[in-house]
Amino acid sequence: MIKPLRKAVLPVAGLGTRFLPATKAMPKEMLPVVDKPLIQYAVDEARAAGIEQFCMVTGRGKTALIDHFDIAFELEATLAERGKRDALELLREEAMPPGSISTVRQQVPLGLGHAIWCARAFIGDDPFAILLPDDLVLSQTPCTQQLADVYHETGGNVVAVSEVPPEQTHRYGILNIGEVQGNRVEVRGLVEKPAPADAPSNLSIIGRYILLPEVVTFLAQMERGAGNEVQLTDAMAKMIGHAPFHGLKFEGRRFDCGDKIGFLEAQIAFALARPDLNAAVREFLKHYP
């Protein structure tokens, strides 16, 4: 029996040093793309896939992430008093049900695998999604929903993948692929940040995963990998052969919002995707040939 997918883990403990000084006093996940912070995009995407419970793996100075999803009584009262119904309705549409968000602390930066292990009590015996808010995907069908469709069909692990230039394989987790069925590929192996000469393919994992809870058992071994960190990729590799494991060439375009150029490009792309902004954005872009 395939268990329902109801949980998501959001690793948000990073310092965001590439965006200093903007992130000196504000979590990088609160950086807005158009008019919505990165963390909101991730949560909205997960909710569209039927996910109901969220665990944020945080660090010091990240309380703004939790406050963002709380009810701002004073703000709502002021909006109501001033008759700003559209703004008030927008806030209420984004409100989270009580008890749907929990947090755990990652006290030391030991890698993505360690961050997921910190959420082990939340994960329990259930399948769960992982969304890295730095990765923003513009698509017709939310990326997590695309992964969930594969999970519900196979009952196994599935990761979102995209092609990268061969010379960039050292920056990503790379797939060793088997059978290919349309946009779905069998995962036969995983290598974290291989040199171009050692990469088994140029298909890289992006920040969207659906994993079975058994991955926590392998993460608990605390084996260090690339960068002397506990790598999620290494733990996932140990799950191959025990359950179905697929990579999905998702529909849509991914923006690396942990990078300044990717973040700026996302601003333009998401603004152009908005009917209320498209014409004005195209007009001002004419001034920047």
Note the Cα 255 to chain centre separation in Å: 11
CA–CA gap between residue 22 and residue 260 (Å, rounded): 12
With the C-alpha atoms ordered 12, 224, 5, 100, is the resulting torsion angle positive or negative? negative
Look at the block and give the residue holding tokens 């991955």: 215
Residue 25 has pLDDT above 90, yes or no: no
Query: 268 in helix, strand or coil?
Result: helix
- Mind listing the pLDDT tens digit for each residue in 80-114? 989 898 988 888 888 888 889 999 999 888 899 99
CA–CA gap between residue 234 and residue 29 (Å, rounded): 26
Token pair of 108 as six digits? 């030391």
User: Residue 198 — very low, low, confident or very high, per pLDDT cuts 50/70/90?
Assistant: confident
Look at the block and give the residue holding tokens 């996910």: 51
How high is the pLDDT of residue 214? Answer: 95
DSSP for 123-190, written as a single string: HTTS-EEEE-TTEEEE-SS-HHHHHHHHHHHH-SEEEEEEE--GGGGGGSEEEEEEEEETTEEEEEEE
Strands (E), the chain: 7-11, 32-33, 36-37, 53-58, 101-105, 128-131, 135-138, 157-163, 173-181, 184-192, 203-211, 245-249, 253-256
Mean local confidence (pLDDT), 116-131:
96
Mean local confidence (pLDDT), 246-269:
95
Which residues, 6+ apart, have CB-to-CB distance to 235 below 8 Å?
A: 113, 215, 218, 219
More confidently predicted of 158 and 178: 158
Residue 52 has pLDDT above 80, yes or no: yes
Look at the block and give the residue holding tokens 């506990």: 230
DSSP label of 205: E
* Identity of residue 204: S
Q: How many CA atoms lie within 13 A of 30 on its CB side?
A: 18
How high is the pLDDT of residue 1? Answer: 84
- Mind listing the pLDDT tens digit for each residue in 200-220? 888 999 999 999 999 999 999
Contact 105, 58 (CB under 8 A): yes
Mean local confidence (pLDDT), 24-33:
92
User: Residue 41 — very low, low, confident or very high, per pLDDT cuts 50/70/90?
Assistant: very high
Domain boundaries, the chain: 7-285
- For residue 289, whether the previous peptide bond is cis, meaning omega lies within 30 degrees of 0, is no
Beta-sheet pairing, 101-105 with 53-58: parallel
Q: Give the CATH superfamily of 7-285.
A: Spore Coat Polysaccharide Biosynthesis Protein SpsA; Chain A (3.90.550.10)
Mean local confidence (pLDDT), 177-186:
90
How high is the pLDDT of residue 289? Answer: 79
CA–CA gap between residue 131 and residue 113 (Å, rounded): 13
How high is the pLDDT of residue 94? Answer: 81
272 CB neighbour count, 10 Å cutoff: 15
How high is the pLDDT of residue 112? Answer: 92
Contact 38, 134 (CB under 8 A): yes
Please report, for residues 3, 5, 49, 159, 203, the alpha-carbon distance to residue 248 in angstroms, rounded to integers and kept in the order given: 20, 17, 16, 6, 10
Residue 61 has pLDDT above 90, yes or no: no
Residue 226 has pLDDT above 90, yes or no: no
